[in-house]
């Protein structure tokens, strides 16, 4: 199937980790011929990825941005337009995932910081991207979320709240742009084998317990998320918008 992604310009946020989902999405879209812009607050990983994906046909760019700052996102979008003259696809992967215990114990400044990255950051990227996609009457926005957004989760109170809000943001953006060639969808992930758990301070016993609850009895792989994201970015997914779609080995229907 030709996904008709050749020459499209895709921005993927949160792509610094070599084992992360953003990295896998960037590789998958590049494999379909898209031009790739990777962004993250960590510079090193995105520079390596951009260099790795650059070939004769595929042009790439790495842009460091702290997405909790509107000015960083505005500058990033200006750079994309200066370099490529267009923006067709936005995959919102970046998020902060830290173990902050409970709502009762979470420091307000940490709450605000996490809302700033996970929710405000996604909003900034979407708003900036829409301003360009609307002129082109074509766009694909994919938000990467979590089953934590459906029913909360142990140790990640603000993360769960931001992911729930991302589900609603997805539907809102889909409704508002349904008539303009722009789709907005959300992938709701279960447990995917990246470094997020080590980084977030969730211990291995908790991860093992979660995996035990997954009917497929295994973690998902970043490539299994990337293939679904890539399809939703394609022309063939033109009638899919506002979907909040599990990619979770049936985790969300087992609890």
Ligand X SMILES: NC(=O)c1ccc[n+]([C@@H]2O[C@H](COP(=O)([O-])OP(=O)(O)OC[C@H]3O[C@@H](n4cnc5c(N)ncnc54)[C@H](O)[C@@H]3O)[C@@H](O)[C@H]2O)c1
The CB-nearest residue to ligand X is 20
Known catalytic residue at 197: no
The nearer residue to ligand X, 137 or 218, going by C-beta atoms, is: 218
Which residues contact ligand X by CB under 6 A?
A: 14, 16-17, 20-22, 40-42, 65-68, 93-97, 117, 121, 144, 146, 189, 191-192, 194-196, 199
Given the residues 100, 124, 159, 197, select the one marked as catalytic.
Answer: 159
**Distance of closest approach, residue 220 Cβ to ligand X, in angstroms:** 7
**Distance of closest approach, residue 191 Cβ to ligand X, in angstroms:** 5
**Distance of closest approach, residue 14 Cβ to ligand X, in angstroms:** 3
The nearer residue to ligand X, 5 or 192, going by C-beta atoms, is: 192
CA distances from 201 to 68, 150, 168, 198, 206 (A): 22, 21, 27, 6, 10
The nearer residue to ligand X, 136 or 184, going by C-beta atoms, is: 184
Active-site residues: which are they? 159
């Amino acid at each position: 199937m030709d996904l008709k992604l050749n020459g499209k310009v895709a921005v993927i946020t949160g792509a610094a980790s070599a084992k992360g989902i953003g990295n896998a999405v960037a590789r998958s879209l590049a494999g379909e011929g898209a031009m790739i812009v990777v962004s993250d607050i960590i510079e090193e990983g995105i520079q390596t990825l951009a260099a790795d994906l650059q070939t004769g046909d595929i042009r790439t760019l790495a842009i460091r941005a702290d997405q909790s700052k509107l000015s960083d996102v505005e500058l990033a979008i200006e750079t994309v337009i200066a370099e490529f003259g267009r923006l067709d696809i936005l995959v919102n992967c970046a998020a902060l995932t830290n173990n902050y215990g409970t709502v009762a114990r979470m420091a307000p400044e940490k709450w605000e910081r996490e809302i700033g990255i996970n929710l405000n950051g996604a909003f900034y990227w979407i708003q900036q991207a829409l301003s360009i996609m609307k002129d082109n009457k074509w766009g694909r926005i994919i938000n990467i979320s979590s089953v934590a957004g459906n029913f909360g989760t142990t140790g990640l109170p603000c993360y769960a709240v931001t992911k729930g809000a991302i589900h609603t943001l997805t539907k809102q953006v889909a409704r508002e742009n349904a008539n303009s060639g722009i789709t907005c969808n959300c992938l709701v992930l279960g447990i995917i084998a990246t470094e997020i758990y080590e980084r977030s301070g969730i211990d291995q016993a908790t991860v093992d317990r979660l995996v035990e609850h997954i009917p497929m009895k295994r973690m998902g792989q970043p490539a299994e998320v990337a293939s679904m994201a890539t399809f939703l970015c394609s022309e063939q997914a033109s009638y899919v918008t506002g979907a909040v779609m599990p990619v979770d080995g049936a985790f969300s229907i087992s609890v």
